[in-house]
Amino acid sequence: MAEAVTTRLRVGIGHDTHRLTPGGPLRLGGIDIPHDHQLVGHSDADALLHAVTDALLGAAGLGDIGELFPDNDPANRGRDSGEMLSEALDRIVEAGYRVVNVDTIVFAEQPKLSRFKPLIEGRLAELLRIESSRVNVKAKTGERVGPIGRQEAITAECVVLLESMT
């Protein structure tokens, strides 16, 4: 029987999608982006922060965002996703992990996010208590195909690397 290989590193993946509706601004990555549409959800519907939260929880084996912050709990109605991410991070730290780096993708036809990426990276770094050089945000369109391309929804994905400190 082969000896088990152990490592101090853990990888997590997160994904979230929210519908768009007229109104604004667009809350994404913990910042408000001027736009004529906004995301719809039980909390503030920040799809990027939800994906990051899920990636963190998954990497540490601590469940998912829906278990920690159920959408049928009135306390989570309109809740700031930054607070949810901070609470998840506290659990990660309590479990003996630290964030090594975070890589994200936002899928949105509009608005164009290039000029907002540094602001989002800075906010994510602040929420995760890491240097902004360890956070990456990419933006992709739907090429006018599907719900992303028709501007019906925005999707976000995240991969996170954690290191065990124990």
Domain, as residue range, for 68: 9-164
Q: What gap in Å lies between CA 81 and CA 27, rounded to an integer?
A: 10
Residue 3 counted as domain residue:
no
Q: What is the pLDDT of residue 3?
A: 67
Q: What is the pLDDT of residue 156?
A: 98
Closest CA to 127 of 25, 23, 55: 55
Q: What gap in Å lies between CA 88 and CA 53, rounded to an integer?
A: 6
Q: What is the pLDDT of residue 114?
A: 97
Q: What is the pLDDT of residue 7?
A: 86
Tokens 């540490």 sit on residue? 60
Cβ 129 vs Cβ 89: under 8 Å:
yes
φ/ψ of 68, rounded to 5, equals -75, -35
* CATH code assigned at 132: 3.30.1330.50
What is the pTM (predicted TM-score) of this model? Answer: 0.95
Q: What is the pLDDT of residue 159?
A: 98
Per-residue pLDDT of the chain (166 residues; tens, 9 = 90+): 666 667 899 999 999 999 999 998 999 999 999 999 999 999 999 999 999 999 999 999 999 999 999 989 888 888 999 999 999 999 999 999 999 999 999 999 999 999 999 999 999 999 999 999 999 999 999 999 999 999 999 999 999 999 999 8
Domain count, the chain: 1
Q: What is the pLDDT of residue 5?
A: 62
Q: What gap in Å lies between CA 55 and CA 128, rounded to an integer?
A: 12
Cα–Cα distances in angstroms (integers) from residue 74 to residues 57, 83, 110, 124, in the given order: 22, 15, 31, 26
Residue 1 counted as domain residue:
no
Q: Tally Cβ neighbours within 10 Å of residue 75.
A: 8
Q: What is the pLDDT of residue 76?
A: 85
